[in-house]
Amino acid sequence: MRTADIRSRFLDFFAERGHTVVPSAPLPTPDPTLLFVNAGMVPFKPYLTGEATPPWPRATSVQKCVRTLDIEEVGRTTRHGSFFQMNGNFSFGDYFKEEAITHAWDLSTRPVADGGFGLDPARIWVTVHHSDAESRALWRRVAALPDERIVARGDEDNFWSMGVPGPCGPCSELYYDRGPALGRAGGPAVDEDRYMEFWNLVFMQYERGEGPGKTGYPILGELPRRNIDTGMGLERMATLLQGVDNLYETDETRPVLDRAAELAGVRYGADPADDVRLRVVADHVRTALMLLADGTAPGNEGRGYVLRRILRRAVRSMRQLGYGDPALADLLAVARDRMAPSYPEVAEAYERIADQASGEEDAFRATLKQGTTVLDTAVARVKADGGRQLSGAQAFLLHDTYGFPVDLTLEMAAEQGVEVDREGFTALMRAQRERARADARARRSGSTTDTSALRAVLDEHGPTDWRAWTTLTTESRVLALAGPAGPVPVAREGEIVTAVLDRTPFYAESGGQDSDAGRLSGPSTEAEVLDVQRPLPGLVAHQIRVTAGELAVGDAVHAAVDPEWRLGARQAHSGTHVLHAALREILGPTALQSGSYNRPGYLRLDFPWRGGLSATVRSEVEEAANRALRRDLPVGVRWMTLPEAKELGALALFDETYGEQVRVVEIGGAWSRELCGGTHVEHAAQIGVVALTAESSVGAGMRRLEAAVGIEGFGYLARERDLVTRIAEQVQAPRAELPDRIAALLGRLKAADRENQRLRQAALAARAAELAGQAVDVAGVRVATAAAAGRAGAARALALEVRGHLPTDRPGVAAVTLPGAGPVLAVAVNEAARAAGLSASALVKRLLGGRGGGSDEVAQGGGVPRDQLAEALAGLPEAVRAGVGA
Would you list which residues are annotated within the binding site for Zn(2+)?
Answer: 573, 577, 676, 680
Judge whether 563 and 516 are in contact, CB under 8 Å: no
CA distance 107 to 109: 6
Torsion of CA 313, 317, 320, 325, to 10 degrees: -100
Supply φ then ψ for residue 529, to 5 degrees. -85, 115
Closest CA to 785 of 761, 809, 768: 768
Judge whether 608 and 654 are in contact, CB under 8 Å: no
690-697 and 672-675 beta bridge pairing: unpaired
Closest CA to 103 of 185, 27, 14: 14
Residue 582: in which H helix or E strand, if any?
helix 563-587
CA distance 413 to 376: 8
CA distance 353 to 336: 10
| Residue 860 bridge partners (DSSP) | 826, 853
Annotated binding-site residues read 573, 577, 676, 680
Torsion of CA 229, 235, 238, 239, to 10 degrees: -120
CA distance 843 to 857: 11
CA distance 817 to 824: 6
Instruction: Output the CA–CA distances (angstroms, integers) from residue 513 to 474, 573, 600, in the order listed.
Output: 21, 7, 9
Give CA 834 to chain center in angstroms. Answer: 53
Residue 798: in which H helix or E strand, if any?
helix 794-805
Supply φ then ψ for residue 640, to 5 degrees. -160, 175
Secondary structure of residue 77 in the 3-state scheme: strand
Judge whether 481 and 499 are in contact, CB under 8 Å: yes
> How many alpha carbons fall within 13 Å on the CB side of residue 675?
23
| Total residue length of the chain | 886
Residues 6+ apart with CB under 8 A from 171: 129, 158, 159, 160, 200, 201, 202, 203
Question: What is the greatest pairwise CA distance in the chain?
Answer: 109
Other beta carbons less than 10 A from residue 717's beta carbon = 14
Residues 6+ apart with CB under 8 A from 251: 2, 3, 238, 242, 338
